[in-house]
């Protein structure tokens, strides 16, 4: 239910991975973003994804989307936005290997989404699910987020977490890729 677009053919060779939070890391956080016309890439975000691709990393998006539980938008809106993001990245020669999102929130207005979920950050469920599906070298992988819950999810999954302070995402991630 909370998986999104995923690359169809997976090579089983171990590779490191970058797990990006979405809002505030890849795009400007505008609270409950689901509309393509309101989406704004963070400076250097497309180049950061491409740099990770070129360095041989899997690139994943892990994002809490409580707007679904709150009734602000539907899961189909999340899929539509992620598909659009993937097309935008592909046009620049970059790719996301898989998008994961959590539509649940314990205080949601929509009953079927009103629950505590292991997939909702700071819980590590989205990361753990990706680790079970992809041949990830966890010793060389990391999470990039902008909130404490992102860093807590990374630690709970046994990965280092790096807090993106804003600015140019490519400039932020290049030293992390080089050290991996």
Domains of the chain: 14-179 (3.40.50.1000)
The answer for residues whose C-beta is within 8 angstroms of residue 179's C-beta and 6 or more apart is none
Q: How would residue 4 be classed by pLDDT, with cut points 50, 70 and 90?
A: low
**Is 21 a known active-site residue?**
yes
Residue 13 has pLDDT above 90, yes or no: no
> Tokens representing 90?
């592909």
By DSSP bridging, strand 17-20 and strand 142-145 are: parallel
pLDDT digits (tens, 9 = 90+) for 60-87: 999 999 999 999 999 999 999 999 999 9
| Whether this model's pTM surpasses 0.85 | yes
pLDDT digits (tens, 9 = 90+) for 107-158: 999 999 999 999 999 999 999 999 999 999 999 999 999 999 999 999 999 9
As a whole number of angstroms, the distance between CA 10 and CA 63 comes to 22
Contact status, residue 21 vs residue 63, Cβ threshold 8 Å: yes
Given 4, 21, 47, 150, which residue is catalytic? 21
Given 4, 23, 47, 146, which residue is catalytic? 23
**Is 23 a known active-site residue?**
yes
Strand-by-strand arrangement of the 3-6 sheet: 3-6, 98-102, 58-64, 17-20, 142-145, 161-163
Q: How would residue 167 be classed by pLDDT, with cut points 50, 70 and 90?
A: very high
Helix (H) or strand (E) holding 127: helix 125-133
């Amino acid at each position: 239910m909370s998986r999104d677009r995923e690359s169809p053919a997976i090579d089983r060779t171990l590779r490191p991975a970058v797990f990006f939070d979405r809002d505030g890391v890849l795009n400007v956080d505008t609270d409950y973003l689901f509309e393509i016309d309101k989406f704004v890439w963070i400076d250097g975000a497309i180049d950061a994804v491409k740099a990770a691709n070129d360095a041989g990393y899997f690139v994943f998006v892990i994002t809490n989307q409580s707007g679904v539980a709150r009734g602000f938008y539907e899961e189909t809106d999340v899929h539509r936005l992620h598909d659009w993001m993937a097309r935008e990245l592909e046009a620049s020669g970059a790719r996301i290997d898989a998008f994961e999102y959590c539509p649940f929130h314990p205080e949601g207005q929509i009953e079927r989404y009103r629950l505590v979920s292991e997939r909702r950050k700071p819980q590590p469920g989205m990361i753990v699910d990706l680790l079970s599906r992809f041949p990830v070298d966890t010793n060389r992988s990391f999470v990039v987020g902008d909130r404490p819950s992102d860093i807590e999810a990374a630690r709970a999954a046994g990965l280092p977490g790096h807090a993106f302070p804003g600015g140019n995402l490519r400039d932020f991630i290049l030293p992390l890729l080089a050290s991996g």
